[in-house]
A and B are shown apart, each in its own frame.
Chain A
Amino acid sequence: MNKTKRSRMAITGALVVALVLFGAFYNDDYILHVGVLVMMNIVLGCSLRLINLSGQLSLAHGGFVTLGAYTSAVLLTKAGVPSTWLALLVSGLLAAVIAILIGIPFTRLKGIYFTMVGIFFVQVIILTVQQWRSMTGGNGGLQGVPRPDSFLGLEFASKTSFYFLALVLMLVSLLILWAIEHSRVGMTFQGIKQADSLAESVGVNTTVYKVAAFAIGGFFAGLMGGFYVQYVTAVDPTVFGFLPTIYMLIYVIVGGEGSFIGPIIGAALLTVLPEVARPLKSWMPLLFAAILMAIIFLMPEGLVGLPHRVARLFRKRTKEQPDAAG
């Protein structure tokens, strides 16, 4: 194991320990709630980035979250599924299946056309849950969704317990997404993004890989939807509509699409920001747009590039100093 790899693992380990200690000793319900949202958004950002990795800019993500949320809600309140954990898993799997079904015809669309299909998908999902009143409760949504069943004697009622559940879900999700990205499959995704005709020429069935990326991303979006609805115990059609989907993309771009930690940083900062700047709440979309534009113009590689830029700035300074002295 080389040095950078070891230090990276040490930093990751330290962060995880910090998150655990934070949850164990910090008892403010509101702060823990923000923590849960941060971890959920991190998974959404990272799973969206995985789809982008294969060269597809998806704006369908909110649709999969909505789908996952309603899947769990309907299964638990209407269908009488006995286990919340089963419902959670089905939330992810159903989203993945739907992603495969719409992916097969639409991933062959390139660039902006694929992106537009995503936008339509979000709208179709919203319209469906609005209109299918007997199943989804229409505009009023569904309430009274049960909280997760106790697991190995752990009860899920307090904010602290949800904080830890979110932490576990996030860590497992990130581990899987990381493993995919750093495997031959992840390499193939990136190859398709760089030159899809060339990837075809070396025998890659690009449709299969694009659909796979879309489905894996959709799975985690659905999973987070299922988790969300079991956490807040209610859902309505527009919680994960168009604007939240755009926010997910902003997490990725602001944090930095080029690296795994990019969306983690982006989601963390941009989830905390609206809470810190509560009085500006109605201005948030404008603020997000301003941040996005600033990043695109000033730091196209995202916030992950900040240390590098600062370091370069300092190097330049120290190099200029002898001249100034002379």
Chain B
Amino acid sequence: MLQVEGLTKNFGGLTAVGSVDMGIRPGELVGLIGPNGAGKTTFFNLVTGYLRPSAGRVTFEGKNITGKKPHHVAGRGMVRSFQQDNVFAEFSALDNLIMAAHLHSGVSFWQSILKTPASRHREMDIRQKAEETLELVGIGDLADSPAGSLAHGHKRMLGIGLALMCQPKLLMLDEPLAGMNVSEVDDTLALVRKLWEGGLTILLIEHNMRAAMSVCERFFVLSFGRKIAEGTPDEIRSNPEVVKAYLGTAADVA
């Protein structure tokens, strides 16, 4: 589904991401893990069009999307979430999702301004879809709250809801668990699993290795911008490179 070949990004002399290859097949739930500063988010930005790669190629469903704009990538069905600025702060939670239905609103510029009966009807459908999505991500009771005033965990859930409103084929979550408490982590993981079981292909970036291990069936590991391992949770856990890069520091603590 997603095919990345030799993806590279240099910032001046620093190589943030160096010739990374990876592939995701339809229906997979894949984890992208690595220590802080490994280039995970840079990789995400390269794939989704927020950064232009220095070299390499990104293919989605057989189409070359290297260097395409983010809105174009989203239009193709590859939709991401953000760690920061992940909601429209001044809109209510429900309006956030209504806004996010942009791609599939089926309402043209002029129809929307003229408020034609057809567009009103569509907007009713969207509103209903938004309410359902809000329930799905577990904040149905916060529909009218301004998104900027939501608790951190609720904002993150709303952020996932925004991505879902785009009807993605591939959902890319950027550290959805960061800063969450234990019960929020459980809820989020349960949601990710539920979405995956519903047929969605998911790429999950996670710093929290244990949490990622509990849901993902396959992993890629980045360290200092390079892919150092790939495989099942068991293969990753027993890979000496990964242990050195990732758990090495943790071992000191233990």
Contact = CB atoms under 8 A, between A and B. Distances in A.
A187 B71 contact: no
B80 A201 contact: yes
A200 B85 contact: no
Contacts of A194: 88-91
A200 B91 contact: no
Interface residues of A, number: 23
Given A187-B98, A194-B90, A194-B91, A202 B112 contact: no
A197 B109 contact: no
B194 interface: no
B87 A205 contact: no
A199 B75 CA distance: 12
A2 interface: no
A179 B70 contact: no
Contact of A185 (B74, B81, B112): B112
A200 to B, nearest CB: 4
Question: Which secondary structure dominates chain A's binding surface?
Answer: helix
Interface in A188-208: 188, 190-191, 194-195, 197-206
Nearest to B126: A184
B102 interface: yes
A197 B70 contact: yes
Interface string B111-122: 011110001000
A200 B70 contact: yes
A203 B102 contact: yes
B223 interface: no
A180 interface: yes
Contacts of B89: 194-195
Contact of B107 (A184, A190, A191): A184
A318 to B, nearest CB: 28
A188 B113 contact: no
A206 B71 contact: yes
B166 interface: yes
Nearest to B97: A202
Interface string B35-50: 0000000000000101
A188 B74 CA distance: 16
A195 B100 CA distance: 12
A34 to B, nearest CB: 32
Contact of A195 (B50, B74, B81, B88): B88
B231 to A, nearest CB: 30
B148 to A, nearest CB: 9
Contact of B91 (A180, A191, A206, A212): A191
Contacts of A200: 50, 69-71, 74
A183 interface: yes
B233 to A, nearest CB: 29
B82 interface: yes
A165 B2 CA distance: 60
B71 A197 contact: no
Interface string A212-237: 10000000000000000000000000
A206 B102 CA distance: 12
Contact of B163 (A191, A201, A206): A201
Contacts of A183: 112-113, 115
B123 interface: yes
Interface in B37-86: 48, 50, 69-71, 74-75, 79-82, 85-86
Interface in A136-193: 176, 179-180, 183-185, 187-188, 190-191
14 contacts: A179-B114, A183-B113, A185-B112, A185-B113, A188-B99, A188-B102, A194-B88, A194-B90, A194-B91, A195-B89, A197-B50, A201-B70, A202-B103, A205-B71
Interface of A: 176, 179-180, 183-185, 187-188, 190-191, 194-195, 197-206, 212
Q: Which 3 A-B pairs have the closest CB atoms?
A: A203-B103, A203-B74, A200-B70
Given A200-B70, A201-B79, 10 more contacts: A176-B113, A180-B113, A183-B112, A183-B115, A184-B123, A187-B95, A187-B98, A194-B90, A198-B82, A202-B162
